[in-house]
């Protein structure tokens, strides 16, 4: 079930919100947990059993991982239990997400010697990367003593399976939401009033902009290598840069808005990333919940930046190889991760990871950062590394060939206007960020934005959804 499907918008969401609103507040977690499992089952089917199995293992391990002031549970035993549970979580992720990729590589290697190796063909469970990271956050935060284990399976099920963030984030660390799981919600109507405009903003981003740009982007990236041109390459790269941002940030706005309506404050995930002046800043603004997760559970445990430059660069390399691989079982994602890791290392090595003071220098660095990000998205979107290199090669070598008939057909006047309008995000200042402004600010600009989103934007989005012109969120595949 997608957030932009009529089934969700007209039936599921209103039913859950109505139940949370009218039933006693002590029932909230139960309503959210049951509704979330129904939401997941409509799209994942039998994979719901896999999710439940992972939940059972992690919930059962929680109490035994807590530090014990009376030394009744030796630290070594807790450490081995943590290793076992995290290994279980990662094994589930590796088997279902990477077994096919791994066996393909083995088969290719065996083919060099005339051999053959069977390729594993496993369907990818929706949201497996996200609920795996939630489980790991839960057990690690308990082991560290940052939050106590949950004894109530309903509260645990609410955290792990909460439908706003289950399929595509944001990634909510356990310590960020543990204090919200007790059901002390008092201002239910205020929460709905604050969250719904944020949800509507995300719906507008997705339905009006991201889905409208998708056919044009698909046409550009599916252009054969011998027909690729300078214009098609740049149109596809810029189009995808905008499509991905409005699709994923739109999902995040919808998730945060839904969470607020249910009485939860989910963490922010985007903060105008295309206004960044450095790649370091970009990763503080893009998919922030993923960056925080890798920082807290990989980068800092590896030593962070505490043991000299060489160890810091090694740790950054590990984190961004894993970041790329987390996004998908393909060499394109690995290359994209290595590319960003290398850019971060270069910035640190030369002291370019800070914002210049002079306005002209900030402007130049912002343009360069955006250009580097656009190049990186080509690897992220391309079918394989060869296609990505072909497109990048055409982006670097101008020609006057123009567009193919297929791309011209996809680039309608409406899409061109939307593309140019969406490109305004490249030139806007870093602050304020629209989502939080819309949700909580009471200024005249915030009020005007709310009125526009809730009338024109929401109405047009509803028409697009009703006519079936929507597509799955891009991050559902991760």
pLDDT along the chain (478 residues), means of 10: 85 92 88 93 91 96 84 76 96 92 85 81 88 96 94 94 88 94 78 90 92 94 94 96 94 94 93 95 95 95 88 94 92 96 94 83 93 97 94 92 91 92 91 81 78 85 79 68
- 189 close to 258: Cβ distance less than 8 angstroms: no
pLDDT at position 298 is 95
Q: Which of 134, 135, 287, 327 is catalytic?
A: 327
- Those residues whose C-beta lies under 8 Å from the C-beta of residue 149, and which sit 6 or more positions away, are 62, 63, 65, 66, 142
Q: What are phi and psi of 5, to 5 degrees?
A: -95, 150
pLDDT at position 477 is 65
User: Which two three-digit tokens encode residue 434?
Assistant: 């629209």
DSSP string covering 119-148: PP--PPPTTHHHHHHHHHHHHHHHHTTSSP
pLDDT at position 453 is 86
Annotated active-site residue 327? The verdict is yes
Specify the residue for token string 């450490």. 79
pLDDT at position 26 is 85
The domain limits of the chain are 6-184, 191-277+355-476
Query: Pick from 4, 43, 61: which is nearest to 477 by CA?
Result: 43
């Amino acid at each position: 079930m997608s957030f932009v499907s009529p089934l969700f918008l007209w039936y599921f969401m209103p039913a859950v919100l109505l139940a949370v609103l009218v039933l006693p507040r002590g029932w909230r977690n139960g309503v959210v947990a049951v509704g979330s499992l129904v939401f997941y089952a409509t799209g994942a089917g039998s994979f719901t059993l896999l999710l439940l199995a992972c939940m059972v293992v992690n919930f059962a391990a929680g109490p035994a991982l807590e530090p014990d002031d009376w030394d009744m549970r030796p630290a070594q035993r807790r450490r081995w239990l943590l290793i076992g549970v995290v290994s279980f979580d990662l094994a589930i992720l590796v088997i279902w997400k990477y077994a096919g990729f791994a066996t393909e590589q083995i088969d290719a290697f065996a083919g060099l010697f005339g051999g053959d190796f069977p390729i594993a063909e496993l369907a990818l469970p929706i949201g497996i990367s996200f609920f795996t990271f939630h489980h790991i956050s839960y057990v690690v935060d308990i082991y560290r003593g940052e939050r106590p284990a949950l004894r109530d399976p309903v509260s645990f099920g609410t955290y792990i399976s909460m439908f706003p963030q289950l399929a595509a984030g944001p990634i909510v660390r356990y310590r960020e939401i543990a204090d919200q799981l007790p059901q002390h919600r008092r201002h239910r109507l205020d929460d709905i009033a604050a969250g719904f405009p944020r949800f509507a903003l995300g719906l507008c981003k997705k339905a009006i902009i991201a889905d409208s740009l998708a056919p044009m982007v698909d046409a550009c990236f599916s252009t054969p290598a011998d027909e690729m041109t300078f214009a098609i390459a740049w149109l596809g790269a810029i189009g995808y840069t905008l499509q991905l941002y409005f699709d994923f940030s739109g999902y995040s706005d919808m998730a945060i808005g839904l969470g607020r309506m249910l009485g939860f404050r989910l963490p922010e995930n985007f903060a105008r990333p295309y206004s960044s002046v450095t790649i370091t800043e970009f990763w503080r603004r893009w998919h922030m919940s993923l960056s925080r997760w890798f920082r807290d559970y990989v980068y800092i445990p590896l030593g962070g930046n505490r043991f000299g430059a060489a160890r810091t660069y090694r740790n950054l390399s590990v984190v961004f190889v894993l970041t790329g691989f987390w996004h998908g079982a393909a060499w394109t994602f690995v290359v994209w991760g290595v590319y960003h890791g290398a850019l971060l290392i270069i910035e640190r090595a030369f002291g370019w990871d800070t914002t210049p003071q002079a306005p002209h220098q900030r402007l130049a660095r912002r343009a360069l950062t955006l250009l580097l990000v656009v190049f990186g998205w080509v690897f992220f979107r391309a079918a394989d590394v060869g296609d990505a290199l072909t497109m990048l090669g055409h982006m670097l070598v101008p020609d006057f060939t123009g567009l193919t008939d297929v791309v011209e057909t996809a680039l309608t006047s409406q899409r061109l206007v939307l593309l140019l309008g969406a490109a305004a995000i490249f030139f806007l200042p870093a602050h304020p960020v629209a989502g939080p402004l819309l949700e909580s600010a009471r200024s005249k600009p915030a009020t005007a934005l709310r009125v526009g989103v809730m009338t024109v934007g929401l109405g047009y989005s509803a028409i697009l959804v009703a006519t079936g012109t929507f597509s799955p969120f891009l991050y559902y595949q991760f």
